[in-house]
Amino acid sequence: MNGWLILIIIVGCFILGYIISMIVWYILNARKEALQPVMQIPHLNEEVKVEQEKLVLFTLSRSDVLDHILEMQNDRMRFPIKPVVKEKTDEKSADFLMCGNSCFCMMFDRNDIVFNLILNMSDEMAKASEKRYIIHKVSSLNGDNWYNLTINRAFENKKEVYNILDNCYDYVSDDPQDIKDEVEKVKIELAILQQKLSDNYEVIEKTTAEVERNYKLELEKFKQENYTKFLITRKEIAEDTKALNNVNITVIERDKNPQMPMSLKYKDKTYAMLYGTDIGVIMIVRISEAYANVLSFKHPEICRAKFPKGANWYYIPVDGAFANKDAVYSVLYRAIEFVEEKYTKKIEEKKLSDEKKVNKKKDNESQKTK
């Protein structure tokens, strides 16, 4: 009998414990469901999350504000009265942003982070700002409309803060006399600067004209001392070139078409082309850049030729800069040397390369027969 009684008590305790646990589970589950929103919109929650992160990340540093003041100082058209900063004397004091003798902002920071701006602004501006930002009037400061603006997540970017500072600047700079005095001051500064530029320009212009005049005189003097009247036709050059009786030199005259250049070739490579004009002959010669630079001292009109293509073709007019025929032929001979050095050596190297290939081929064939 005692055994049955004990068994009944144990079963009863188990059933009671189960009922109590179910009641507790039901209460907790019902509370959890009550706390959950009726309907979740995933994309909306993401937008809210991004917006919150953006607002949390916004901070304004003391350096940011000082940089903006520097930009204001450089824009004299927008801010005619130069804004200045009376920097704080210790960590507990504020920076004063001044427009003339009027303060338009007191800036407080902690470890370079700005949390509050005490602004001098109109009541209308303050009322408009209340719709978005935390702002309230500072009654302890008398004489002006001072408002305490809290820098927090309500600002989307720094430009919003800068716009408010610019508006506060405009508010305190509304005194027409201050603006008039500053504008007159700027006008005087500009007039002085303009006068300095004019004086310097006259000096520069005079110096430049004098240098140019002296250069022309020196050039004429040099020409008179070193140049003689000299003209040569391309027919003369052709006859003199043929008289050399050099089998490697070929003259292609093209007399039937005077507009086409006469070509001078060395080993079938063109080293010069001669154009006949009403004032004389123009040579297009193939020479090295170093030799062209040497020629430029006595022949200032020498330049790279546009045709034919290549880096070593130079345009030289045969004018009074040449003392005689020998000076002309000296240039043409240097063109022959350039062609000989640059192009015939390549032909010889190609021949040697071809001979090596032929010899190698013969060696391979002889080894196969063995």
Contacts of 314 (CB under 8 A, 6+ apart): 284, 285, 286, 287, 292, 295, 302, 303, 304, 305
Question: Of 174, 190, 206, which closes a domain?
Answer: 174
Residue 173 vs residue 213, higher pLDDT: 173
> How many domains does the structure of the chain reveal?
2
Position 124 pLDDT exceeds 60: yes
Lowest mean pLDDT, pick from 78-82, 165-169, 346-350 = 346-350
DSSP code for 82: P
What pLDDT, on the 0 to 100 scale, is given for residue 285? 95
Same domain membership, residue 163 and residue 68: yes
Position 54 pLDDT exceeds 50: no
Q: Is 150 domain-assigned? A: yes
What pLDDT, on the 0 to 100 scale, is given for residue 56? 45
Q: Is 286 domain-assigned? A: yes
Q: Is 265 domain-assigned? A: yes
Q: Is 8 domain-assigned? A: no
- The enclosing domain of 345 has a CATH number of 3.90.1150.30
Q: Is 257 domain-assigned? A: yes
Same domain membership, residue 238 and residue 167: no
pLDDT in tens, 205-238: 566 666 667 666 776 666 566 555 567 888 888 8
What pLDDT, on the 0 to 100 scale, is given for residue 53? 46
Same domain membership, residue 143 and residue 69: yes
Confidence of residue 354 (pLDDT cuts 50, 70, 90): confident
pTM check: above 0.75: no
Same domain membership, residue 258 and residue 169: no
Same domain membership, residue 336 and residue 265: yes
Question: Of 157, 174, 191, which closes a domain?
Answer: 174
The residue behind tokens 């010889």 is: 348
Q: Is 261 domain-assigned? A: yes
Lowest mean pLDDT, pick from 115-119, 170-174, 211-215, 233-237 = 211-215
Lowest mean pLDDT, pick from 108-122, 190-204, 296-310 = 190-204
Per the structure, the complete domain to which residue 118 belongs is given by: 62-174
Terminal alpha carbon distance of the chain: 121
- The enclosing domain of 114 has a CATH number of 3.90.1150
Q: How many other β-carbons are positioned within 10 Å of the β-carbon of residue 152?
A: 15
From residue 290, give the alpha-carbon distance in Å to each of 29, 294, 295. 96, 7, 9
- Distance (Å, rounded) from C-alpha 197 to C-alpha 208? 16
- Mean pLDDT for 268-285 is 84
What pLDDT, on the 0 to 100 scale, is given for residue 105? 92
- H-run or E-run covering 8: helix 2-35
Question: Of 153, 174, 195, which closes a domain?
Answer: 174
Six token digits for residue 167: 């508006």
Same domain membership, residue 251 and residue 160: no
What pLDDT, on the 0 to 100 scale, is given for residue 308? 86
